[in-house]
Every structure is written in C-alpha cells, then in structure tokens.
A = this chain, B = another copy of it.
Amino acid sequence: MPYLEPIDPVIVQAEPLRRWTADLLERIGTPPEIAADVAEVLVAADLRGIASHGTARLPSYVALVEAGVLEPAARPARVGGRGAIALFDAGNGWGHHAGRVAMDDCIDRATETGVAVSVVRNTNHYGIAGWYAMRALAKRMIGVSLTNASPLIAPTRARVPMIGTNPIAVAVPAGRHGGIVLDMATSTVSRGQVEVAGRRGDTLRADWAIAPDGSPARTVEEALAGALQPLGGDEQGRGYKGYGLALVVDLLSGLLPGASYGPHILGLFSTEGPSELGHFFMAIDPAAVGDAAEFEGRAEEYIDLLAAAPTIPGAPGPVLYPGQLEAERAERNARSGIPIDREHHAGLVALGERLGVPFGT
C-alpha cells in the first residue's frame, strides 16, 4: 500500500526489461539460467510497484560483482538437512537464484511431506520476499519466505541499529482471488519511505525512526544517521512486538542455517565483503490435511467478507486483502508498461552503456 507511483515516469515494457536485465547479468559473468531467475524476480518487483527492490538496484548489484564480493556463477548446493528440512549453501551467489532453487525444492518435497522447509546460508540480497512465497501458489500450496538483512532497526530501548528490516512473506492460495500475499518489513517504514517523505517535505512520524541520540528523528538527515523503529514504534506504541518479529526472522533465517546475523551483517550493498545472509522458506500443502478446494473456498469467502465490511469515515476505499493492490498493479503494468522514475531510467541507461548492453527504451 505505501508504494507510490513515480512522478513524470518513463514507461518500459516488462518483457524487454527482463531480457535486457538478463543480458546485462550475463555480461558480468552470470550463467543464463541464473540470470533468468534474477531478472524474473527484479522485474516482478517493478511490476508490483515495489521499485526499491527491482531493477533500480541493478547498479548496486553490478558493483557487488565487480568488487568480487558476490560470485555471479555460484550455484546453491544442498549441504545438509533431515526429513522435511534441507540446508543449502548458496556459495555467495545471487540470492534470487538460491532462493528460487531452495523454495522450489521445498515445494516439491511438500508434495510428499505435507510441510517442508529449506534454509539457505552464504547467500545475498534476494529482492522481494513475497516472490518466493508466491511460487507456492502455482502448486496451490501456502508459501513462506523470510530473510535477514543489513542492521537498520534499533531494538526497543536501543540507540543504534542492530537488526535488519527482516521481512515476513506468506502467500495463501485463494481461489478466484488468486492469492493472499502478505509481504511486510518488520520496521514501521523503510529507509526509502523516509527519503521520499523528506523529498516531499512531509514531517516524519515519531514512530518511524530515531536520531543518533535516541530521540525521535524529526528530519530525514537525523533518521538516516540514526535507526529505523520496529513496527509499532517506541515502547509505549508496542514497538517491542515489531522488534520481536524482526528478531525471530533473524533466528529462523540467519542463525538456523548458520548465516551471519544482527549487527554482524555488512551492508547488503557494501562492497567491503560478502553479506553472508540467510533465508528461510516453507511450503505447506493444504491437501495434506483436507480438501484443497474447500480450503480455497473458505479463503475466497473470507476475502469477500472483508471487501464488504462497512468502512471508517474518510476511508480511501474498501477493505483490501494483503497483496491486492500489488496484484492489481502487476496486472496493469504487464498490460500497459511499467512506469519508472527518471533517475531509475537514467541509471539503467548508464549501466547499459558502460557494459555494452544498450538499454532499449
């Protein structure tokens, strides 16, 4: 819901953008089938309107490869596990590829085991968490995707950032509605949203971020030099719930597979060294405990009840289900092109020129 449309955008078509992204990634040493996964996930973010996690990040990703801190040709390998849980080592390769492989693996296994988990270590930024959870929808399964990230959140009472904005993504098949897709950071807002508010001259809310001295950040500069607040804000606002969720995501996606965690994580886009992130994926097959069609029928009915609810005064529209706006935007953007902002576009053009893969649009 917080994703704003760019002002004065350039319109690019999804399919050429995906092809160009894959070509560019191949040019820097990524094997074609790995490049295809990375391009798919990045363009999916652009389609869904989550520009901060899409192709706008390509210059940062390329810098990681050029600095030698991300191995573009690495392939994830299964290195452990038992029964319904598997451990993968991503070989410090693309997180998007390792994530796709590990998620698909647990979806396949869940056909037998009803529930299955994959955890991944030695991996990198994987883009939007929701994409992996949504892989389960095609098999009419529930998907879960968690990852840790650069320390940006200050735990409740702390003055410094120590935990990532570690997202929680869950996708649930919902019949004619497609899927319910929750994909949320465990901070109140992202750094990107702080920056946007600053550019628009909006005041920062007290539950968004703290300044370096620990007081609520009033300016973008204070916020970016300080730390984000966990979901809920300060202790009075029950921000310890958001902090607890962020910590649990780190325990499952970072500590469990033996990845880095918390304040030990280098910036995701730091060229100082590998980020050593971890991911956690789970698939649950509703058919293992009942009739899958009846399950989806109940999910459909739930959505219908929510959509028909009486609304508060001044509501900007009806009650939405998680992922509804993103799905509608993806459908529109697939049809009529993805609006990207001028800075994003200029970044892609410059990158294409430098690497000899001209950006077409």
Contacts and interface: CB of A to CB of B under 8 A. Distances in A.
Interface of A: 1-2, 80-87, 112-117, 119, 142, 154-160, 162, 168, 170, 172, 180, 182, 184, 188-189, 205, 207, 210, 213-215, 231-233, 235-238, 240-245, 247-248, 250-252, 255-258, 261-263, 282, 284-286, 288-290, 294-295, 298-299, 302, 305-306, 309-313, 315-322
Given A238-B2, A320-B157, A115 B255 contact: no
A168 B155 CA distance: 19
A309 B305 CA distance: 45
Contact of A290 (B80, B247, B315, B321): B80
A289 B158 contact: no
24 contacts: A80-B289, A80-B290, A82-B285, A85-B115, A142-B251, A155-B309, A156-B319, A157-B309, A158-B306, A158-B319, A159-B309, A159-B312, A162-B306, A170-B251, A180-B248, A182-B248, A207-B237, A214-B312, A215-B313, A251-B302, A255-B299, A255-B302, A258-B295, A262-B305
10 closest pairs, A vs B, by CB?
Answer: A214-B312, A83-B113, A85-B114, A82-B288, A158-B309, A84-B84, A182-B244, A87-B289, A244-B322, A82-B114
B113 A318 contact: no
B114 A81 contact: yes
A235 B155 contact: no
A83 B115 contact: yes
A295 B188 contact: no
A252 B81 contact: no
B231 A312 contact: no
A225 B5 CA distance: 38
A46 to B, nearest CB: 22
Contact of A115 (B117, B213, B317): B117
B172 A251 contact: yes
Contact of A188 (B112, B232, B258): B232
B84 A158 contact: no
Nearest to A259: B298
B247 A238 contact: no
Contacts of A116: 84, 115
A52 to B, nearest CB: 16
B251 A312 contact: no
Given A84-B114, A115-B85, A155 B214 contact: no
Given A159-B310, A184-B244, 18 more contacts: A2-B238, A80-B288, A85-B288, A85-B289, A87-B290, A115-B115, A156-B319, A160-B310, A182-B244, A182-B248, A184-B241, A205-B236, A210-B312, A231-B232, A233-B237, A245-B245, A255-B298, A257-B289
